[in-house]
Chain A
Amino acid sequence: MKPAKEIRVGNIIMVDSKPMIVLRSDVNGSSRTGFTYKWKMKNLLTNSPMENVFRGDDKFDVVVLDKKPVTYSYFADPLFVFMDEEYNQYEIEEENLGEALNYLKDGMECEAVFYDGKAISVELPTTIQRVVAYAEPAVKGNTSGNVLKEAKLENAIESKRHTIQVPLFVSQDDTIEVDTRTNEYKRVVRN
């Protein structure tokens, strides 16, 4: 069993004997009871969404799910299609992809997560490389420091392009490394 404070977006937990995927977690400071966790979840059996609130020390059974390496193939509105090594195709709803959608790219390798034989979400590698699709021009002489600017990353669905904070010296068309757990810029990848 895991306390709520250790549950991450994408985890499947059992709530009153129902498997629920955590789609979004908003953590808020509370009084002395510690943090309050407001989760948007979806019942994997009925697809019905729920919004609930928990204390950080509420404990849940986390369901360990089967995983399989897959690559992203194409978007068959409204489903995202992934393929494994044996060319089996798995369709996953946009809502279940959560933040993975921000980094989705044709041919991208990731792990599909299965519940009861059905692919329900994907997990990304911890770090990935992406090309900067748009950023304001680099500032001359500014190669270090803490000042940041916004950069849009290249991905499969243009309308879903993700914006992250990068240092001023990062330019359009640079390839950068991003931590998918925190959505933080790590470094520029120089060839």
Chain B
Amino acid sequence: MFPEKTSTSLAIFCKVVDNFGDIGICWRLARQLQSEHGVAVTLWVDDLKTFQRICPPVATDSETQEVAGVTIRHWRDQEGVFAPADVADIVIEFFGCDIPPGYIAAMVEREPRPVWLNLEGLSAEEWVEGCHTLSSPHPRLPLTKYFYFPGFTGKTGGLLRESALEDQRRQFQSDPAQVAAFLARFGVTPEEMAARKVSLFCYPHAPVRELFDTWQAGAAPVLCLVPEGVAADAVRAFIGADPVAGAARTQGALTVRVLPFVPQPDYDKLLWACDLNFVRGEDSIVRAQWAGRPFVWHIYPQDENLHHKKLRAFLQRYSPDIDSANAFNLLWNGAMGEDASVADAWRPFQEDMERIAGRSAEWQAQMLANGDLVSNMLKFAASKR
């Protein structure tokens, strides 16, 4: 627990680059810091419209507002003059976004100087352990920043997880009526409830059409729930109409339903309610891990296919002995070569689903042992004050 719980202030600077992932992570972080640790959080964010998609109470035209106990500031540009009193005790720049020079100048003037963290991206690669919590002295100013890495081992900061999350999940998943009622909100019928339920969230280049073809031709019924705007071309082609929320169609063994874009708590429930989750980027893969269900990760693409390296590092930790899971994840991310087909990779993956589900549970226990990112980060910040 942070020693100065009641008086600690913290600023998070977030630039929205990858759609909902950046603000998704920062919003979870902000809420947990505020609600579980009593930290006074100011979240600076440059794109309030995207923020509003995952958190509807956010007003897009407000310079400063308070939502769920968190102060939200519209980060319009790099201009601005700040006083030392404007600077928080802990300053987090998310994903190395450049915080305004005026704010940095005020950090120098502040006594004591704030603990400055660069919260980096999630990676299972080994080098992360060697860089986690390392200092990064400012080239010209008497300020030190620390790199802080979330991760999958005890030598990293762990993963974002609210303290009540596990209980909430267990309670939800053990209550079929609650699951059915939740899915019924999206038009899921009792017949569809009996199918293999899959949530689909991916970047546009995922081979969704091939996946739909495979499921459609399969023997087992599949219900695919896809948020509006995701895989729009493939969904439009399957449904034969605009893929707006509420649209649905069954062809062969596959039913595709388009969901409205749901706020974060409902997205968790969607992951908990499904038998298999296709997730993308950083925020949703972490939530999929806490869901305790098999998942397929569409990783944020990087130049020179660096994301394939990251994906392989994750698979090496997560499923070193489950070839079918590794092959399907690699294929989904275009890392299996042009000859590999979705249908060929899906068959063994489907057959191994029970085993993969077992692994999900073991993995979750392993991740819980690393503690949670927010608590670990506050402990580290306290050690630097």
**A residues engaging B (CB < 8 A)?**
13-17, 26, 28-33, 36, 38, 51-55, 58-61
Instruction: Tell me if B18 is interfacial: C-beta within 8 Å of chain A.
Output: yes
Within the assembled complex, what's the spacing in Å between the Cα atoms of A29 and B141? 27
Question: Which residues from A are CB-within-8-Å of B147?
Answer: 36, 53
Nearest CB of A to B148, in Å: 11
CB<8 Å pairs between A and B, sample of 19: A14-B140, A15-B137, A15-B139, A16-B137, A16-B140, A16-B142, A29-B302, A29-B306, A30-B120, A31-B122, A33-B95, A33-B120, A36-B131, A38-B134, A51-B134, A52-B137, A53-B136, A59-B139, A61-B139
Nearest CB of A to B279, in Å: 16
Cβ A32 vs Cβ B139 within 8 A: no
Within the assembled complex, what's the spacing in Å between the Cα atoms of A54 and B120? 12
Cβ B139 vs Cβ A14 within 8 A: yes
Contact with A along B105-130 (1 / 0, CB 8 A): 00000000000001011110101101
Question: Which residues from A are CB-within-8-Å of B18?
Answer: 32
| Known A29-B302, A30-B121, A33-B121: A54·B136 in contact at CB below 8 Å | yes
Q: Lowest 7 CB-CB distances: which A-B pairs, in order?
A: A31-B121, A33-B96, A53-B134, A28-B127, A29-B306, A60-B139, A53-B131
Instruction: Tell me if B310 is interfacial: C-beta within 8 Å of chain A.
Output: yes
- B:9-46 near A, CB below 8 Å: 17-18
Instruction: Tell me if B300 is interfacial: C-beta within 8 Å of chain A.
Output: yes
Cβ B300 vs Cβ A32 within 8 A: yes
Nearest CB of B to A136, in Å: 31
Question: Which residues from B are CB-within-8-Å of A31?
Answer: 95, 120-123, 282, 300, 302
Question: Which residues from A are CB-within-8-Å of B125?
Answer: 28-29
Question: Which residues from A are CB-within-8-Å of B142?
Answer: 16
- B:134-153 near A, CB below 8 Å: 134-142, 147
CB within 8 A of A13: which of B127, B134, B139, B306? Answer: B139
Nearest CB of B to A12, in Å: 13
Within the assembled complex, what's the spacing in Å between the Cα atoms of A26 and B302? 20
Closest to A36 in B: B131
Instruction: Tell me if B309 is interfacial: C-beta within 8 Å of chain A.
Output: yes
Cβ B123 vs Cβ A52 within 8 A: no
| Known A28-B125, A36-B131, A53-B131: A58·B95 in contact at CB below 8 Å | no
Nearest CB of A to B178, in Å: 36
Nearest CB of B to A24, in Å: 12
- B:81-96 near A, CB below 8 Å: 95-96
Cβ A16 vs Cβ B96 within 8 A: no
Cβ A52 vs Cβ B136 within 8 A: yes
